[in-house]
Structures are given as structure tokens and as C-alpha cells.
Amino acid sequence: MNRREFLSAGAALSAFSLLPATILAEKTKQMNATKFPQPLEPKIVGDVKEFELFIDIIQHEFAPGMRVHILAFNNQIPGPEIRVNQGDRVRVKFKNKTELNHTIHWHGLHVPWRMDGVPYVTQMPVMPGEEFVYEFVAEPYGTHFYHCHWGTLLHMQSGMFGSFIIENPDDDPIKKQFPYEREYTLVYSAHDTNFMRRELNGMLERMKERMYLMRNGRFDKERFALFDSKQELLDAIERGYQPPYSLSRRAPSDLPVPNWFSVNGKSYPSTPNLYIKEGETIRVRLINAGTEEHFLHLHGHDFWLVCDDGLPVPQPWQQNTLRLSPGKTLDIIIEGKNRGLWTFHDHDTRRVTNNGLYPGGNLLVLAYEDLPDEERMVRPMKMKMAMKPGQKMNMLPKVALDE
Amino acid sequence: MKRYKWMFVWLFAAFVIAASDGLAQVSPEIQLATRGVVSFNVDRAAHATASAVNDFSDTAVLLGFKQKLYGRYRGQLVVGFQFPDADSDLGQVFYHQIFVKLEDKSNILKIGRSRVRSALIEFPTLRDDDAIFYTDVLNPFSSGENTEDHQYGNVMEYAHVFGQRVWLRLHGEHFTKTPLPPATAETDFSLNAIGVSLQYRVPESQRWNRPILNQIGIGFNNFLTNRAAYGGYDEVLKNITFSAILNIRPDPVHFWDVRHQSILNLGLSGVDRITDFTSMTLARSLASTTALRYLYRKLERPTAQISLTVGYKSFPELAQNTFQWLGIINAFYRLGDNFDVGVQYTLQKFNGDLQYLFGETETRIQFSLVFAIDQLWNDQFDDRDSLLNLEHGYIN
């Protein structure tokens, strides 16, 4: 794309962003509540909190006009949020409704090793139509997540992730230091939608014939590329077996290159807003369930980094840009000290794109919902956009686009 | 007023130029499909033996471009060429596919030169035309010199897919009419055939759902032989085709299927002798072809294939009892992905009038190497027949 084309595309999208989506309107705020992981209510069975998760293939929209087939826990992207107290006994009944294999790995949790969800290491994969029950005690405190550990590269970017929050309601170390009422969970991911489509189709096709053979008791180690030991693999190669990764067998052209970047399964302009009030403190739990690093920058504020991988840091420190690596969770505290509408986005702006076009991706806004009326007026914009005199902030762009 | 009008025109032109210059192009999907077929042939006919060191006919290259259009449509352009038989009069290279396709989920419009609907299914032979007298409706406007005359033509076709598996096709074609000397090229490209077909077929991606019935279909081809430029006969030449494919052992490792196609050529009245290729196509006939195929798939890919194809064609209304039959047995072994080595033995017998044209017997043995690839670059959207689209909702 040359400079002229870039500017042209950018201008078109900016104009799109200026549609009168009202960032501070009640309707927008109500809609926004649905853009965060939905809590999964447990059933109390004795002293156990029992959760039910299932996985299925659904159609999902990252942004208006862009639908993909995706793997969804309980038909949600991300999967529902499991929230328990530290020390709770937890049971998760996981039902596989797809024709693919899956497991669930509890990322950051200290579960018994047989519950860790690594196929062929800690458990057999949960095969099509099967159910597996995970049981563990919720430890340690903090922000964690769960994800599929089968075909991880494909299954995670295809939607199989969700937040797992372990609270300590009576003695929350963060709340003690930074009293807050509201908190938000943001799950970041990156998706190569072409890789997802191609690989899901291929895997579904292969699984159809594999299931037939399994049902008929004809499991074949070479066909499934599954050996009991390295020596068994070496012996098979000696006999002429070609591993699937060899150049003469399966040679995918490239590793996935993400072209969509999502927060809670949505890309800008569908991403959630973070609402705050002047003087308020909010906690934001950041989870990177994708394969890309994100360098998240908040305009106009220095937030406190308070937890790293769920663990409270010994000494919170302030910054305005953090590095959220794949697999990491970071908790930050934002203090409402500078009212306005502020962007919160990846400063590697390649991830603020949708299919290569800016703006998009993980572009969010921190919005002060108690912004005074007089500050909702933007005269220069009014003149540019031919707005009516006296019109309020709800004619502002959905999010400020300057960085 | 006139001055304002010109100003408007100039402004509009400037806007169009600026807009077209500023917009990025949508990159299409690019598909390359090639098939290289080379064989060493030994032929025996009329008590004489001949051999060909190198037969590369049917080798073909296809290049396709496809992209999403506004709304629900997709557009496609395919350009392809193949190398015809050495003794054909098509030249060194024949452009067999040049068409544009417009489609959505259920409707497909195809216009250009392409494979005509002269057959409903394909048979497991080394080359597409190895059993063409049995497997395809034959073009009555051809001199019989080129098998491509029966396979390719200028096509206008509309297809509608009911549900996911039932295909209705309405097609009109210009089949090649061999120019009469001294002319060397066709000058009339008008419609000379129309047809319709109805097929039930299981999409390739769902083959491991293991249905017994894989395909069944019926087709009607009408050659407009009543047109002055195309024979000027009193009647239209009608052909009716029936086909079926059964997966008799739909096992992923040891796969067996059987396929059958019958073509009933209703013929023109009064044709009771075959003296040349044209009269053969105009005579009433019934051609039946059946193939039994065994496919061994060791590591989720084809490893070896053996097939037996038999064909029988009779001409019931000729003065002399006339029929022909054919047997083809072949075996292919996969040396690597996309690359096969094979051997094929073909035996044909001719009786009655056909002996004047073809002799009594033809025998051919072919030792072949085949390299076939199908690659897609810049893929951006799914096909109608992908498992995701078929089983989890179609995405426009």
C-alpha cells in the first residue's frame, strides 16, 4: 500500500468512526456491559462449585461485516468467566460437542497434574462427543485463564480461551492498597483468519476418517503420528515412515500471520469501552491469550501495575505503556485523575488494524462517564462536521483517533 | 449555463480519476492447477505395432483468480491450456479453459470456453479421453479428429444448488464444428446445443461421512442438428445420460467404489449405416461404462489405486449388427505427494460397420508418470463445499 492509498483508506475509516455512536449514552453503556466475559454461574454440589463448559463451532463477528467460523466455549468468545474464591473446590464438567479433539489447560492454576489438560501427557484428549471432568482447588489468588491445549496454535486463536479469576474477598491485597468498586477483564488475542479457516477445515476432514477408524478399533500409530516413545518413532522412520512435518508430506506454506486482533473477541469499532468517573479507581485485568506481544499504552494517565501472572507485585509501580506477552496476565489500577475520553491501545500499531487497515484491532477508549456538559462540546469539530450549535458530546467520535 | 456544465464535467472527471487512483485493489485469490502426464505407449492395431517414445497429451495448466464481490457474490476468471494429441489439428497448444464465473451460495453462472456437460462423471483412466466413445456424448459437428471437440466448447451455463447436494444445470453450448476445406477456422459461433442435468452428489469434503450413494444424475443433451448451419436435418439429435457412483466399501484405508454411466443416443431417423465419424454420432446407440476402483490410503493420502473399466456400445438400428467394447485396467502408485507412476492396458474390439473405421482390435499399453498439483495463494474465503460452510453455516 503506498502513502496515498494508506491515507485514502485511513480517511474512509475515520469518517466511519465519526458516525454518531454515542460513547456516553446510556444505551451504549448497556450494550458495553455485554462486551466483557460473561460470568458462569456454578451449581453448588456439597462443598464443590460445579461449572459446565461445552465447546462447539459457531459463527462469530469480530467487527461488523467480518464473520468467521470459530470454536466457542458455551457459544461465547471469549469463553465465560469463571470466578471463584481462593481455596474453593472446583469441578468443571467439559463436554466436547465438536468433531475435533480438545482439552482444557488451567493457565496459572496449581491444579493436580492429572488435571492440567496436556493431551497424552496428563490426560487423553477429550474426543468428539466425550465429557471430561476437571477437579481441583482454586489456587493461587489472581487473574488467570483457561484454554485448549490440543492443537494449541489453532484452537487458541480460534477462540478457545476464557478468564479464570480467583478472588480473596475478605483480604484482597490489591483492594486494600487501591480501594476500587469496578473492575474489567480484557482478554487479548490475535487471529490469522485464513489459517483458522484452512486448518479447521483440514482438521475436521481428517477427524472424520480418524473417528471411523477409532470406532472400528483400527488405531494406527503411523497414521495418527502418535508413538509411545522416541525410539518407536525412530524405528518407524527406519522402516520408511515419513513424519507429517517432513518436506515430502505436509508442508504448510507459512506459520500463521495474524490479520485480526481482538479484545474480548471484538475488534475496533466493536471493542469494549472502559468507563470511569473522576476520582474513581478501577482495576483492569489484562490477559493475553494470543500469540502476539502487545504494548498497551493509555493516554493521559500513569496506571499502577499491581499483579503479574496473577501474583501481586511486591511494589506496584506506575507506567503508561506495558508489555503484555503471550500467556501473561497483568492487573493494572487506573485512577480517574484526568477526565476526558482517552485511547487505550497497542502501541505496536500493526495490531490496531483490521485485515491490514487502520484503525481497528485492539483500540479501546477509557471514558469518563461524568464528563461535564461543557466539555462535551467540541467547537472545532462542530464546525468541521457541520454539527448544530450547542450539540453535546454524544456527537463526538466513538473514539479519538490521534495517538 | 454551458460554462457551468463543462465545469461540472471536469470536476466529475477529476473526482473519478482521483478516486480510482486512491483506492487500493482487492487482491484476488490465485489458484494454479497443473497436471503433467507423460507416457511411453505401445499400440497394436490392424496387425501392426507402433510405439511412442513420449506422449505428453492431456498435460494442462490452469490459472484461476477469484475474489469476493460486493454483497454475496464471488467472481472468478480461469485461463488454461493443454497439449492436445500429437495427431490432432489443434496445434501445439489448445486453450481449453477461458471462462468467467459469477456465483453465490446457490447460483452459479459460467460463461466462456470450458468443459461441456458431455459427461456426468469421470472415470479412473490415465487420460480423460481414453474411453471417450463410451464416456461422453459425442459431438456430431466434429470430424472426429480431435477428442477435445467433445470435451470443450463455448459454454453458457447456469447452475442452481438445492440444499447442498442437488445440482440443476441448464446449459447452452457452441460445440466445435470442424471447418470444411478450404476454410481453416470456424466463423460461426452460435448456439448449437442445449441441455439440462440434475444431479445428487456428496461434496468431496464429506466423503468420510461414508454415504453409500455418492452420486446419481441424469442429463439431456440436444444438438441443434436441425439448424441449417449444423446439418439441416429434420430433427434435433438427443442424448440422455444416466450416472451413479456407489461407495461399496467407504473405508478410509481400503476404499472401494463402483461407477456407472449410460448414454442413450436417440439418433436421427434413417441412419442405418456408419460410414464416417459423423454418421457414427448420428446413429442411435447405447453406451454403458462401468468402473470398479480400489484405493489404498496409507497415511490419509492416496498411496495406490487399481481400477478396471469396461465399456460396451451398441448401435441397434443399423443394417449390420454393430457394437464395440472396451476394457481398461490400470494401476497407479504414489511416489510422493502429487506424483504417481502408473501402467495402463487398453483393449478395444469393434464389430460391424465400426470395423471399417477402426479395424477389429486396438490394444495399447502405457507406462506413465503423472504430476498433478493444485495450489492456492492469497486464500481469503471459504468454498461452498468446505466442511465449515456445509456443516456450520455458510458465510457469504
Report the 3 state secondary structure along A215-272.
HCCCCCHHHHCCCCCHHHHHHHHHCCCCCCCCCCCCCCCCCCCCCEEEECCECCCCCC
What angle is formed at CA B171 by the lines to CA B170 and CA B173, rounded to 5 degrees? 170
- In 3D space, the residue among B316, B221, B212 whose CA is nearest the CA of residue B256 turns out to be B212
Of B205, B251, B388, the CB nearest to A69: B388
pLDDT band, residue A382 (cuts 50/70/90): low
Residues of B in contact with A5 (CB under 8 A): 22-24
Query: A5, B298: Cβ pair inside 8 Å?
Result: no
pLDDT cut 70: percent of chain A above it: 87
Query: A4, B21: Cβ pair inside 8 Å?
Result: yes
For residue B391, the SS3 value is helix
Residues of A in contact with B381 (CB under 8 A): 197
A23-27, A332-336, B104-108: segment of lowest average pLDDT = A23-27
Indicate the burial class of B187 (C-beta count within 10 angstroms; 0-12, 13-18, 19 or more). exposed
Residues of A in contact with B22 (CB under 8 A): 4-5, 7-8
Q: Is the pLDDT of residue A391 over 70?
A: no
Residues of B in contact with A213 (CB under 8 A): 252-253
What does the alpha-carbon distance between residue A199 and residue A205 come to, in Å, rounded to a whole number? Answer: 10
DSSP B267-318: --TT-----SHHHHHHS-EEEEEEEEEEEEESSSSEEEEEEEEEEEEEETTS
pLDDT band, residue A165 (cuts 50/70/90): very high
Q: Which of B30, B299, B333, B381 to mutate to test the interface with A (most CBs of A within 10 A)?
A: B299
Residues of B in contact with A59 (CB under 8 A): 392-393, 395
Q: Which of A6, A195, A208 to mutate to test the interface with B (most CBs of B within 10 A)?
A: A208
Look-up: residue for cell 498411496? B303
A222-231, A255-264, A291-300: segment of lowest average pLDDT = A222-231
DSSP A142-163: EEEEEE--SSHHHHHHTT-EEE
What does the alpha-carbon distance between residue B126 and residue B38 come to, in Å, rounded to a whole number? Answer: 10
Residues of B in contact with A212 (CB under 8 A): 208, 210, 251-252
What does the alpha-carbon distance between residue B116 and residue B141 come to, in Å, rounded to a whole number? Answer: 14
What does the alpha-carbon distance between residue B151 and residue B133 come to, in Å, rounded to a whole number? Answer: 11
**Residue-level pLDDT, tens digit, chain B, 396 residues:** 455 555 544 544 444 444 445 556 788 999 999 999 999 999 988 778 888 778 999 999 999 999 999 989 999 999 999 999 877 778 889 999 999 999 999 999 999 999 999 999 999 999 999 999 999 999 999 998 899 999 999 999 999 999 999 999 999 999 999 888 777 788 888 999 999 999 999 999 998 887 899 999 999 999 999 998 888 899 999 999 999 999 999 899 999 999 999 999 999 999 999 999 999 999 999 999 999 999 999 888 899 999 999 999 999 999 999 999 999 999 999 999 899 999 999 999 999 999 988 999 999 999 999 999 999 999 999 999 999 999 999 998
CB A149 within 8 A of CB A117: yes
Of A67, A205, A212, the CB nearest to B395: A67
Question: What is the reported pLDDT for B195?
Answer: 98
What does the alpha-carbon distance between residue A400 and residue A298 come to, in Å, rounded to a whole number? Answer: 12
What does the alpha-carbon distance between residue A260 and residue A70 come to, in Å, rounded to a whole number? Answer: 13
- In 3D space, the residue among B119, B65, B127, B62 whose CA is nearest the CA of residue B95 turns out to be B62
What does the alpha-carbon distance between residue A170 and residue A168 come to, in Å, rounded to a whole number? Answer: 6
pTM of the model: 0.89
Residues of A in contact with B393 (CB under 8 A): 59, 69
Q: Is the pLDDT of residue A93 over 50?
A: yes
**Nearest-neighbour CA in chain B from A329: distance (Å):** 32
* Minimal-distance CA residue of chain A relative to B23: A5
What does the alpha-carbon distance between residue A288 and residue A78 come to, in Å, rounded to a whole number? Answer: 12
Neighbours of B59 (CB within 10 A): 18
A18-22, A273-277, B293-297: segment of lowest average pLDDT = A18-22
Neighbours of A144 (CB within 10 A): 21
What does the alpha-carbon distance between residue A305 and residue A318 come to, in Å, rounded to a whole number? Answer: 6
pLDDT band, residue A372 (cuts 50/70/90): confident
Of B205, B299, B388, the CB nearest to A223: B299
Q: Give start and end residues of each alpha helix (H) in A273-315.
A: none
Residues of B in contact with A7 (CB under 8 A): 22
pLDDT digits (tens, 9 = 90+) for A217-255: 888 888 888 898 999 999 999 998 888 888 887 666 678
Interface confidence (ipTM) of the complex: 0.88
The residue type at B224: L
Question: What is the reported pLDDT for A387?
Answer: 53
CB A145 within 8 A of CB A104: no
Q: What is the mean pLDDT of chain A?
A: 88
Q: Which of B27, B388, B395 to mutate to test the interface with A (most CBs of A within 10 A)?
A: B388
Report the DSSP pairing between strands A363-368 and A273-276: parallel
Q: Is the pLDDT of residue A393 over 50?
A: no
Q: How far is CA B387 from CA A65, A207, A252, B159, B163, in A?
A: 22, 11, 19, 21, 14
Query: A8, B23: Cβ pair inside 8 Å?
Result: yes
What does the alpha-carbon distance between residue B44 and residue B233 come to, in Å, rounded to a whole number? Answer: 38
* Minimal-distance CA residue of chain B relative to A222: B299
Query: B382, A201: Cβ pair inside 8 Å?
Result: yes
Query: B336, A248: Cβ pair inside 8 Å?
Result: yes
Q: Which residues of B touch A (CB under 8 A)?
A: 21-24, 205-206, 208-210, 251-253, 298-301, 336-337, 377, 379-382, 386-388, 391-393, 395
Q: Find the radius of gyration of the CA atoms of chain B.
A: 24
Q: Is B323 left (phi over 0), alpha (psi -120 to 50) or beta?
A: beta
Question: What is the reported pLDDT for A11?
Answer: 39
